Amino acid sequence: MKDQFKLSKLLPMLPDDMQMRVRELVGEDAEYRRKGVITKIEETLDDEYAIIQYVSTRDVDRDKEILDPDGALLDEFRLAPQVLWGHNWVEPPIAKDEWIESDGIGIKAKTIYAFEEYDFAATIYKLRRGGFQNTSSVGFVPMEWVDRDTENWKETVAALKDKWEVKPSYFKDTQRIYTKWLLLEHSDVSVASNVNALTLQKSVTVPAEYRAKLGLPTEPEVEEEPAPTPRTVERVARIVRPVPIVQPIARPVEERRIVQEILARAQGKV
Q: Find the helix packing angle between 119-129 and 251-266, rounded to 10°.
A: 110
Break the chain into its structural domains and give their ranges: 31-266
Average pLDDT over residues 56-65: 90
The predicted-structure confidence for 224-257, as pLDDT tens digits, reads as follows 445 544 443 333 333 334 444 334 434 445 556 6
Confidence of residue 138 (pLDDT cuts 50, 70, 90): very high
pLDDT higher at 123 or 26: 123
Residues 6+ apart with CB under 8 A from 67: 35, 56, 57, 58, 138, 140, 178, 181
Phi/psi region, residue 49 (left: phi>0; alpha: psi -120 to 50; beta: rest), is left
The predicted-structure confidence for 181-219, as pLDDT tens digits, reads as follows 999 899 998 765 455 554 555 544 444 544 454 444 455
Q: Would you state the pLDDT for residue 4?
A: 64
Q: Would you state the pLDDT for residue 240?
A: 36
Average pLDDT over residues 16-26: 71
As a whole number, the mean pLDDT across the chain is: 75
